[in-house]
Structure 1
Amino acid sequence: MDDGYPPDRPSGLVRRIHTEPLSTDEMFHRDMHWHPTEFLRLHWLGHNEQDYVEISPELAEAVIAKWKAERATSNDD
């Protein structure tokens, strides 16, 4: 979370999918797709210059829907 970005308006989204043998971490990118990231693992290892706040899956889906709608609107211009 960057300063000034509340949980309902985050600067970015990261998710962890519990898979075997290791969990998969992904970040939502500007291309409106999920891509692999090491953010959570690096944060756990102490590389925590940027903090994060856990939000519900429902709020994350709402944020993604809003970003997609904003992108569609900006592409119409």
Structure 2
Amino acid sequence: MQAALRLITEVQPGGKIEVIDAQLPDGVPVEVIVLLPSTPAVPRRSILAVLADAPGHLAFQTAEEVDAYLKRERDAWER
């Protein structure tokens, strides 16, 4: 039976991959297979980051901030 060793690592700058494991004997030829993720990893943004980028920056931290914003909006309607 063929022995296998499964490791997960990150690609370093320049496309380098380093494999270190004490089970790997010195001087023995090995076959390395690299499996890429099926879909590219897209960084996910929090809802607060999305709201912070929205027109008007409607990311409120407290209920008082919401109340103050609504009061300013209502006062603007009255003008």
TM-score by length of 2: 0.26
Which protein is bigger by CA-based radius of gyration?
2
TM-score by length of 1: 0.26
Bigger relative CO (Cα 8 Å, ≥ 6 apart): 1
Structure with the higher fraction of residues in strand conformation = 1
